Amino acid sequence: MTDPKTLLVLENFINGKFVPCSSYIDSYDPSTGDVYCRVPDSGKEEVEVAVTAARDAFLGWSSKSYQERSQIMNKLADLIEHDLEAFAQAESKDQGKTITFARTVDIPRAAYNFRFFASSILHHTTECTQMDHMDCMHYTVRTPVGIAGLISPWNLPLYLLTWKIAPAIASGNTVIAKPSEMTSVTAWMMCKLLGRAGIPPGVVNIVFGTGPKAGEAVVSHPEVPLISFTGSTLTAQRIRERSAPHWKKLSLELGGKNPAIIFEDANLDQCIPTTVRSSFANQGEICLCTSRIFVQRSIYNEFLKRFVEEARKWKVGSPSDPTANMGALISKQHLEKVKNYVKKARAEGARILCGEGVDSLALPAGNQNGYFMLPTVIAEVKDESCCMQEEIFGPVTCVVLFDTEEEVIKRANGVKYGLAATIWSSNVGRVHRVAKRLQAGLVWTNCWLVRELNLPFGGMKASGTGREGAKESYEFFTEVKTITIKH
């Protein structure tokens, strides 16, 4: 048992100050199963105070020039980079991810999010046109929307929180952000840096708590005209319902059931290690992870053998172990959910080739009660199986064979999601042809997770509404206005 006196206790950050809450909820260390942190259980009262602070700060912040806001955001990026190791250690402990992933992916990207939007905000242009025959000139301006409600998930906590905060404040909005109650520590740490960076009180307010209480209060508030949410499709449905009476702008980045299509001319030496990584990185807890692998018949047996061999090389261990490839899943409930998908697949007659229920998991003594699971590969599973249709969000991937291009396109599109896809082929014509027909917002060819932040990010169908990126985020966080001058 953890001594209550040693628990880390977080506080909301409102109007430039840390504010205690009347009630708290426990947050667990996924690698041990122990409570190590107490998070505010905020609700309507705390959100109302945050709205007042954000409203009062809006005029001053939105009146600053793009250059002033850019300088402040670059300073915040400097401060995060200065404390990178502390942030990485906290993110690894709080989320269960490996320290290596936190050091090399999460925290560097969190700092870069501020740098990227600090730069991009300086380079947007507006439109102007003339009507000489009527002695009129028309031009557009973009103005910030107001208070932005930002709700981020638990899988990439600071990475995705800053991906929302950065464009929101760069565009001149003030913010009320709600991180996941399961991974709140790095957001709380960042709050300590905001004043030092020069961000005025009330511009960034962080309210901790659950979705049904704190999240619902933000989404339902009539003075929060804009909501950016990353998370589950089910929660997004609730957000749509609660936002509808207030005509809020919505950006919803949701789940995926992402296919990888391996054609017979693929370079397997590159494809296999990359596809193992795309299936199991961050314990498979990335919305862009591969969970359906379609392999052309002529190379199916070779691919499957080599893929399983490579997956078995991945080390599952303590997140603090720099040699571990995978850490712990986020919670006991989530671990059981993921394991249940494997049980269902076995009951349906599928073959479990490695991982859960097949191989033994050796863990250090201190991690025996943690939420760990081996990389698991399922074969001979039907397309209509829940393992091929539903987002598992864990270290589980399904490998099936296909014969023709036309067939695999139809099967790859045969789910309700449409976030990302990967194609492996050396045939340039086929790559362009297939990519165009896949129902996915992002398609990678012979690679995975290569991101250009200037370009749109987002999904089709049940994978979301709207896009994020330099231009897209700027347009979302602003309103366009056409002004006509007669001279």
Q: Kindly list the catalytic residues.
A: 253, 287
Q: How far apart are the C-alpha atoms of 353 and 268, rounded to whole Å? A: 19
What is each CA distance from 249 to 190, 239, 245, 252, 421, in whole angstroms? 27, 11, 12, 10, 27
Angle (nearest 5°) at CA 182 between 326 and 370: 40
Helices (H), 121-254: 157-170, 185-197, 216-220, 233-243
268 touches 302 (CB < 8 A): yes
What is the Cα–Cα distance from 82 to 356, expressed in whole angstroms? 40
Residues 6+ apart with CB under 8 A from 92: 98, 99, 101, 102, 319, 320, 327
d(CA 183, CA 157): 6
Distance CA 82, CA 196 (A): 13
Torsion angles phi and psi, residue 282, rounded to 5: 55, 40
Q: Which phi and psi angles does 94 have, rounded to 5°?
A: -75, -35
Backbone φ and ψ for 423, nearest 5 degrees, come out as: -120, 135
Nearest to 338 by CA among 304, 289, 375: 375
Q: What is the C-alpha separation between 276 and 115, in angstroms, rounded?
A: 31
- Which stretches within 96-222 are classed as H helix? 99-101, 107-120, 157-170, 185-197, 216-220
Taking alpha carbons only, the member of 360, 10, 296, 399 closest to residue 181 is: 10
Buried b (16+ CB within 10 A) or exposed e, 362-381: eeeeebeebbbbbbbbbbeb
Residue closest to 184 by CA, chosen among 380, 39, 385: 39
Whose CA is closest to 158, among 209, 199, 113, 106?
A: 106
219 in Cβ contact with 243 (< 8 Å): yes
Please give the structure tokens belonging to residue 179.
């991180």
Provide the Cα torsion 221, 226, 231, 232; round to 10°. Answer: 70
Closest listed residue to residue 379, CA positions, set 324, 323, 305: 305
